[in-house]
Amino acid sequence: MIVNYKHAGAWVIQYGKMVGAPKDAEGKSIQEKVFQGGTVLIKPGTNSIIDKNWLMIKDNPDVVSRLKSGELQIIEDVSKSGAIKSDSGNDRIESLEKYDQKIAVDIVDGTMDSESLTRWKKKEKRPAVLKAIKDQSEKIKNADEAFGKGE
């Protein structure tokens, strides 16, 4: 699943359940119960979520609420076209050409990865999307300079 998260900070979603306590060799419980599950980190901008993780979090009330509000958008359900093997983010999107202009601009606005912006710019022809790429690249450059990461 490829999603766009419109927020300034990262979001950690835990999933799982408490399961029976592990037992020692004599059959006695070693501890009360054990949490079995995992976490999904969603960063601002575009994120790829492994299919099995999406299945675990998609019904989470916070996920449902953020989908309804538009703060979290489903960009592409890649499980229909091929499972995601890793949580990678923008590197899953080679080009913005297949997205309508509004979604492409939303993806660009949430991207903090200069390499993705550069890759998309090479193939993009729509003026509004090119302007969004230019503006976002400038924001990243200014932020890098402000925090001493500029060249």
Residues 74 and 101 in one domain: no
For residues 13 and 43, give the distance between their C-alpha atoms in angstroms, rounded to a whole number: 11
Residues 76 and 108 in one domain: no
Catalogue the long-range contacts made by 60-67 (C-beta closer than 8 Å, 24 or more residues apart): 60/13, 60/15, 62/13, 63/13, 66/5
pLDDT at 133: 94
44 touches 10 (CB < 8 A) = yes
Strand partners, 34: 19
Q: Which residue has the tokens 């538009």?
A: 70
pLDDT at 85: 43
38 touches 53 (CB < 8 A) = yes
Residues 146 and 99 in one domain: yes
**pTM exceeding the 0.75 threshold for the entire prediction:** no
pLDDT at 86: 43
Of the CA atoms within 13 Å of residue 40, those in its CB half-sphere come to: 25
40 touches 49 (CB < 8 A) = yes
Please report whether residue 30 resides in a domain.
no
Q: What is the pLDDT along the chain (151 residues), one digit of tens a residue?
A: 888 888 888 899 988 876 666 677 787 777 666 667 788 999 888 888 888 889 889 999 999 999 999 999 898 876 554 444 444 455 567 888 888 898 888 888 878 788 889 999 999 999 999 999 999 999 888 877 777 665 4
Residues 87 and 101 in one domain: no
Residues 98 and 77 in one domain: no
Q: Which one of 56, 74, 92 terminates a domain?
A: 92
pLDDT at 92: 65
| Buried-exposed string 55-85: b where 16+ CB fall within 10 A, e elsewhere | ebbeeeeebeebeeeeebbebbebeeeeebe
